[in-house]
Amino acid sequence: MKNKTIAAWLSFLGGPIGLHRFYLFGKQDWLGWLLPLPTILGFYGVQRVRTYGIDDTISWVLLPVLGFVIAGCALTAIVYGLMSAEQWNARFNPKSKPDAAAGQTSWLTIGAVVFSLLIGCTALIFGTVQVFQHYFEYQILEGQKLSQ
């Protein structure tokens, strides 16, 4: 039996390394094995910012990748947490009753949804702001070069 609350928390806390995928689909899930790659690239971007500063081009390309991965995993946690018991059990516990306890929503499930919404929105905004800020700064510098 796959528990909805556990899946939501795994998606929120361990989603960027694929823990929720392994919990729900097993070790043979190829997406679970690929999910850590963009996470590692994002953390490499964080390391480059610490080493070379925020103006490093590679870092401002890689930083949003981490933000988008975290936001995507938070969105997955929200979707899992807001599924009805019938939908959850039909998809992940097909041999159980539609109203089985594994698909029920508890306060812990709601907590996973709330924290995922908070952190996921923050990560999404951070990633978007990083991309647009550096893109427009780059455009201004290129425009100044052309005007001289």
d(CA 48, CA 139) in angstroms, rounded, equals 22
In this prediction, residue 73 carries a pLDDT of: 95
Contact between 48 and 71 (Cβ < 8 Å): no
If one counts the domains in the chain, the total is 1
- pLDDT in the model for residue 3: 93
Q: Is the dihedral of CA 140, 146, 147, 148 positive or negative?
A: positive
Nearest to 15 by CA among 62, 71, 56: 71
Range of the domain at 120: 4-147
Please check the confidence at residue 118 and state whether its pLDDT lies above 90.
Answer: yes
Is the predicted pLDDT of residue 141 greater than 80, yes or no?
A: yes
Single pTM value for the model: 0.85
Q: What is the pLDDT of residues 63-93, one digit of tens each?
A: 889 989 999 999 999 999 999 999 999 999 9
With 90 as the cut, is the pLDDT of residue 47 above it?
A: yes
Q: What integer pLDDT is reported at residue 85 of this predicted model?
A: 92
Taking residues 13-26, report their average pLDDT.
94
pLDDT at 71: 92
What pLDDT, on a 0 to 100 scale, did the predictor assign at position 26?
92
What mean pLDDT value characterizes the chain? 91
